Amino acid sequence: MLFVEPHAMGQGIGRLLFEYTVATGRELGFTQLTIDADPNAEPFYRAVGAIRVGNVPSGSIAGRMLPQMVVTIHP
């Protein structure tokens, strides 16, 4: 899970965390990152290159659907 405190949003912290996650995945040999995103975070994930591929049910709120997004990790 990747979260940034609301007061810290817009300062590049989320992007740094995301870039670190992708770099770590690359080092471990992953080729894809799948994200079950909070609906409010979808614009952020789109901005860092994720593509929406569908919806998945929330694991914590009954009846809520989350956008499922994918990022390709290039070598």
Residue 4: partners with Cβ closer than 8 Å, 6 or more residues away:
13, 14, 17
Read off the pTM. 0.88
Q: Please indicate, yes or no, if residue 41 is contained in any of the structural domains.
A: yes
Residue from 40, 34, 42, 36 nearest 60 by CA: 36
Is the CB of residue 51 less than 8 Å from the CB of residue 69?
A: yes
Its sign, for the CA torsion 43, 53, 13, 74, is negative
pLDDT in tens, the chain (75 residues): 888 999 998 999 999 999 999 999 999 999 999 999 999 999 999 999 999 999 999 999 999 999 999 999 998
Q: Give the structural domain span for 47.
A: 31-75
The kind and range of the H/E element at 66 are strand 65-72
Q: Please indicate, yes or no, if residue 63 is contained in any of the structural domains.
A: yes
Q: Please indicate, yes or no, if residue 19 is contained in any of the structural domains.
A: no
Number of domains into which the chain is organized: 1
Q: Please indicate, yes or no, if residue 65 is contained in any of the structural domains.
A: yes
Cα separation, 35 vs 51, whole angstroms: 10
